[in-house]
Each structure stands twice: as C-alpha cells, then as structure tokens.
Structure 1
C-alpha cells in the first residue's frame, strides 16, 4: 500500500506536523524491550524512522533507558558495529522529555511540563515534518488524547510469555487504517496505520 503524502503536514487534516509512534511487540503482545531479538535490518529500519522526525517525544523511563544504552561515545565492544547508525541517529536527535519528577535533562533534550495535551499540541504546531514518540505509558496517554497520527507495530515472531502489553485499559477504542506493511528477513512484520480520528 502506498504511504505517499503521510510524510508531511499536508497529509493530515489539521495541518499540524504528525506525531508518529513505533513499537516492537511479540506475537503474544509483549512490548518489553527485551522481548524481540534485534538485528541489523531492524536497527536500520528504526534509524530511518527516527531520522524522519524533527524531534523525539519520550517519557522519563524511555528517555533514561535510551540514554543509558545509546548515548555516545559508547565503550568499544558494548554493541555490535551495525548498531552504530541507530546510535548516531538517536544520539543527535532533539528530544522532549515528559516528566514531573526529573529536575533536568541533557543529551540534546528539554523537559516538557504542565498540561500534556497543551504541550504536545504546541509541539505539533511548530514547523517541520513530524515528531516521533516511543515507549509505553506516554503513548497510551497520547492515544487517549487523540494526538497520535500514525502507529507502527513491528510484530516479531516470538512468544514472550510475559508483559507489559500495549494500551491496556485504554478508555476508548482507536480506529486505524492500514497504510503500509514491510516484512523483514527475521520474520518480523512492520505494519503502519493512520488514525481515522
């Protein structure tokens, strides 16, 4: 299926830059970052996703987890060489961190405080091609507010047998339209959806 027109503000009815969400998930619904088995092809795909965004929107837990894993420079041998493009992309990205408990952030980041809906709408109104959100709890709050324009689920051929799971307790269903599909050599499948709302 074509995804033409989804990469710019013009592809969305409200004219704001789109907020995109991507998450790895196992066949039984586990979204624990240790569930899927990473490989070079998937890291390249995720690096390309990140590079399409003007900035990343992260909650505290995801921000701290990503910083501890991907902040450059990394010690030699900590990660395989093929993770370098992903590491460079996420290290350089502008980051907005939603947190009421952190006093400060660095790593090219700034804190987002106050009303979540107001703050994220303000970010979406800024010029650019899009924002990218990761994690579990923050995307659920954004989905509740109807602020996510595009969802990507990278489904891995594995049964993890444990949680956490996505969108548990979502108060209202979110209807989506399939706009893209990509298969990987590992057997993982990335499915992209646009919000119908």
Structure 2
C-alpha cells in the first residue's frame, strides 16, 4: 500500500496562497524532490490548470535556469485530476472518475501519491486519506488568507491517538527575518500589529515544536 503525501507552503500566520511563498532555488529544489518521491500526482482542477499554465512547455522554456529542473520534473510526472467540470485532460494526466475515496484508495494500492493545493487536500483530509503532511513555513506575515482547513486536520491527526498512521513533518526555510524599516521617525506598533506579531510568535513556537506521530 502506498502513501498519500500532502505538501503546502504556509506563512507564519497560516496563509497558503502560493503567491505569498518566497520563491527561490531552494524552494524549487525541495518541491522537485517531493514530486520525484511520488509515483503519481493528484490535483484538483484549479491546481492542475495553474501548474499546467506555468510549467508545461513551451511556457516553462522562458523561466530562469534554476527553475527548470522543477519544470522538467513536474512535466514528466503522471497526474490524476479530480474535477466535475473538465471533460478531458492531457499533460500526462487522467481524470478521476466515481467516488473520490474509492478512487484514491485504489491509487494508493499500487503507488505513492503526492498532492498539493487547498480544496482537494481539504476533502482528502476530511476522508482521512492523507498519510503525511509537510508544511514548508515561510517567515512572513501576510494578514490575509486563504488558510487551509487541512492544516487543522493535520493538527488533529498529530494530537489524536485515533490517527496513529499519520505523520506531520515540518520544513523550515532558512531565510532571515528582518524588522521593517521606517524612513524617518520610528512608529509605535498598533494594537493590530502587536496582536499579529504575538500570534506569529505563538505559531512559530508551535511549528518549531514539530508534532511527529509515529506510524
């Protein structure tokens, strides 16, 4: 039986908008390694179309050289797409038909599966199908969402003896955190800013204390 792994970039205040991640060579190398560990990828429609637009040649040909190894990895990967609106897919992809839980269990029977995005992983977490969560934490506060419900499900899995098969791993970015600079006089933090910093500090402590659940 294979594993279903879920990896997501997340800020200190829990935002999982991909535009809030810090894109660099390390991030793309880690993502390529994550994909290469899997036999197949499982995407929802939104993530599939977004990835295809960005990483399928010839669009990926114009990207910087340090992004291209990730582009080649995801381009070559086998993909399965969950969608109620798409009638056909290509890019080494097949549509998932029928009951989601049954189809995913069938995939896991013979393969390790990797997924990403927000909506589909939330549904998979609700069904108890995710075996491993990986959060790549970016040292930044966005002040907005979206925030993935799957994060809460991972926390529940880490703290519950009823889900001993789940594992929660933490990936930390080695990026310096610098205080903002003001051009002239220093400004006292507003109540909202103080609350955000306090919340981020609390979240950071919870991330650093990685909650690993043994198999």
Note if 1:143 corresponds to 2:125.
yes
Question: C-alpha distance in 2, partners of 1:110/1:170?
Answer: 30
Aligned to 1:109: 93
Note if 1:95 corresponds to 2:79.
yes
Q: 1:149 touches 1:194 (CA, 8 Å); kept in 2?
A: no
Flag the structure with larger Rg.
2
Q: Which moved more, 1:114-123 or 1:168-177?
A: 168-177
Query: CA 1:193–1:23 in 2, change beyond 3 Å: closer, same or farther?
Result: farther
Give the superposition deviation at 1:120. Answer: 0.3
Give the superposition deviation at 1:171. Answer: 8.3
Q: 1:22 touches 1:151 (CA, 8 Å); kept in 2?
A: yes
Higher helix share: 2
Higher strand share: 1
Note if 1:122 corresponds to 2:111.
no
Q: CA offsets, 1:154-184, max 9 Å, x none?
A: 0100111111001179789632276655544
Relative to the length of structure 1, the TM-score reads 0.81
Q: CA offsets, 1:89-131, max 9 Å, x none?
A: 00000000001110100000000021100000010112x4x11
Aligned to 2:43: 58
Aligned to 2:3: 18
Gaps of 5+ in 2: 159-165, 178-203
Gaps of 5+ in 1: 1-15
Question: C-alpha distance in 2, partners of 1:70/1:91?
Answer: 7
